[in-house]
A and B are shown apart, each in its own frame.
Chain A
Amino acid sequence: MKDYFALIFTGGKSLIVGMMITLRELFRPVVTVQYPREKLPLSPNYRGHTILIRDEEKPEKHRCISCKMCERECPSNCIDLAGEKREGVKGMVLIKYRLDFTKCSLCGTCVEVCPPNALDFSKVYQHVGFSREDFHYDLLAMVEEDK
């Protein structure tokens, strides 16, 4: 009998304590943001899809030497690149760098292995498309467009 009333008392008290907590939270400011209108600052270390970065000394050019290290090391086999020999140019010239972003796991292996540090992560996080092919990015075109 004593337990019976004790349970009513403690139980009722715990319910009221719980309700007081939610009441307090009710009057505190919201913590979420209305996403497309407000955006939170992105961390500078965020990993978006990879991009070719431009050379600091010669800003019109990217640094890729078409060594194919990234293509070989990529665990997801999502890089497809090609270089060709051109008259009067030392080394290889990159003619194609396609990234299949549907498969990329953003592991960073390609960025790490690249001998001339030609790759970096972008800060793009909004990817929308109607088909898989929309996510096959042409990094070479991107870096050239960007000029």
Chain B
Amino acid sequence: MTTMAEKGEHRYILNMGPQHPSTHGVLRVILEMEGEYVMDPQPVLGYGHRMHEKMAESRPWPNFLPNAARMDYLSALIYNHGYVGVVERLAGIEATPRAEYIRVITSELNRLQSHLLWLGVLVLDLGAFTPIMYTFEDREKILDILEDVTGSRLTYCYMRVGGVVRDIDDKFVERTREYISWQRSRMPMYDKLVTGNIIFRKRIEKIGEFNPDMARRYGLTGPVLRGTGIPYDIRRAEPYSVYPEFDFEIPTETTGDCMAAYLVRVREIEQSLRILEQALDKLPAGPAMAKVPKKLKLPAGDACYAVESPRGELVYHLTGDGSDTPYRMKIRVPSFSNLSLLPELCRGMLLSDLCACMGSLDLVIPEIDR
């Protein structure tokens, strides 16, 4: 058998994507198959390439604000946060304390909706149609809350250098609190319906196992990395905004398989709810927007700002040259590194497991392609 496989006589190419139900976007994976076994998966990127980095370098810096949301449409606010963060750090501007709290609150809501979507989609990839509708019911509540304050439902352009566009009001606080208790009451249901289900467990346990060494070689971050037992989360490792003021845990698992990534994410939902609760309690009064010079020029120099997106570490690196247009902008997106693990992770796997693996990596393709 192995000799035949080595000769590659029984191999054939299966083209998965760019339109395939479980690649979630325009990702194409060329699979070299042997029967149902995937011998060599090669991702092909670039179908959604829009030159975001180049766009940032060719126009005044405020013009990049709406772009940030278009890279990862599932965590637009966190991308907003990263971008305003890097500009603030380079220009030496401080956002008001209230604005920082609002940023954290909206970012965590954004993270929650991303995790909820992922939960539904992973189970959908494994063939269960119903849980995604339940997670969407929860997610709708977050989107309604965010729509009320940001004006949009998915591609938010809410944060500005120095603060946020619109202050939150008591109604927002009240609705968010309501949502927190609602989400808490829903989690036992998901535990029974999804986590406990024997078919689901058998489908993702011990699938796609990797170790911290592999994770280091590929620069993995986010829940996938925390699934191998490394408690690396930017919110703790390199605290930004007002995260140091909150008490929350970094959930980790040790097995490093799809189940570990799954459990980490589900437990992160609870941690995000905790952060939200504390942030709403501590929310300081004051303006939501700091005084920022009208025509802000970016000083010459470099600045880096890392935030924790739902998929991992997102880094903006901005170089200014004294004008209002960035000299260079580099964005390090988590999905890109996470995807590059795929060929090594999925070699010799069944086709069904490949779908499970891609689901648990939680890829957002426009973020990879930028």
| A and B held together in a complex | yes
Q: A-side interface residues toward B, CB under 8 Å?
A: 7, 10-12, 14-15, 17-18, 21-22, 25, 31, 43-47, 73, 75-76, 105-109, 112, 121
A22 and B192 contact, CB distance less than 8 A? no
Q: Which residues of A contact B150 (CB under 8 A)?
A: 45
Partner of B198, one of A11, A107, A109: A11
Best-buried of A31, A46, A105 by chain B (most CB within 10 Å): A105
A132 CA / B314 CA spacing, docked (Å): 35
Q: Which of B144, B149, B157, B192 is A105 in contact with, Cβ under 8 Å?
A: B157
Q: Which of B66, B67, B166 has the most CB of A within 10 A?
A: B66
**Is B254 at the interface (CB under 8 A from chain A)?**
no
Residues in B lying within 8 Å of A, measured CB to CB: 59, 62-67, 70, 130, 134, 137, 140, 144, 147-152, 155, 157, 165-166, 189, 192-193, 196-199
Q: Give Cα A22–Cα B192 distance, bound, in whole angstroms.
A: 11
Q: Do residues A17 and B192 form an inter-chain contact, with CB atoms below 8 A? A: yes
A31–B141 alpha-carbon span in the complex (Å): 11
- How far is the CB of A100 from the nearest CB of chain B, in Å? 15
Distance in angstroms from A26 CB to nearest chain B CB is: 10
> Among the listed A12, A14, A105, A112, which residue makes an inter-chain contact with B196, where contact means beta carbons less than 8 Å apart?
A14
Report the separation of the CA atoms of residues A106 and B150 in the bound assembly, to the nearest whole angstrom. 11
Nearest residue in B to A47 (C-beta to C-beta)? B151
- Are A45 and B148 within 8 A (Cβ)? yes
B residues near A75, Cβ cutoff 8 Å: 59, 62-67
Complex Cα gap A108–B165 (Å): 9
Q: Is the CB of B198 within 8 A of A15?
A: yes
In the bound complex, residues from chain B placing their C-beta under 8 Å from that of A12 are 198
Q: A46-B151, A75-B67, A107-B65 known; 11 other A-B pairs, CB under 8 Å?
A: A7-B198, A14-B196, A14-B198, A22-B193, A43-B148, A46-B147, A47-B151, A75-B62, A75-B66, A105-B66, A109-B62
**Is the CB–CB distance between A45 and B147 below 8 Å?**
yes
**Of A18, A46, A47, A76, which one neighbours B193 at CB under 8 angstroms?**
A18
Kindly report which residue of chain A lies nearest to residue B157, judged by CB atoms.
A107
What would 14 A/B residue contacts be, using CB atoms closer than 8 Å? A17-B192, A18-B197, A43-B148, A44-B148, A45-B149, A47-B151, A75-B67, A105-B155, A106-B151, A106-B152, A106-B157, A108-B157, A109-B63, A112-B165
B65:A21 contact, CB within 8 angstroms = no
Give every chain B residue within 8 A of A15 (Cβ-Cβ).
197-199
Knowing A10-B198, A108-B165, A112-B165 touch, does A22 contact B130 (C-beta < 8 A)? yes
Closest-CB distance, A111 to chain B (whole angstroms): 9
Q: Which residue of A lies closest to B128 (CB)?
A: A18
Name the residue on A nearest B134 (C-beta): A25
Point out the residues of chain B lying under 8 angstroms from A107, CB to CB. Answer: 65-66, 157
CB of B126 to closest CB in A, whole Å: 13
- Nearest-neighbor residue (CB-CB) of A111 within chain B: B165
- Smallest CB gap from A7: residue in B: B198
Report whether A108 and B151 are in contact in the complex, using a CB–CB cutoff of 8 Å. yes
Chain A residues near B59 (CB-CB < 8 A): 75
B246 CB, nearest partner CB in chain A, Å: 27
Instruction: Assess whether A45 is in contact with B151, with CB atoms less than 8 Å apart.
Output: yes
Q: Tell me which residues across on chain B come within 8 A of A14, comparing CB atoms.
A: 192, 196-198
Residue of A nearest to B201 (CB): A14
Complex Cα distance A18/B194, Å? 8
Asked whether B196 lies within 8 Å of A43 as measured between CB atoms, the reply is no
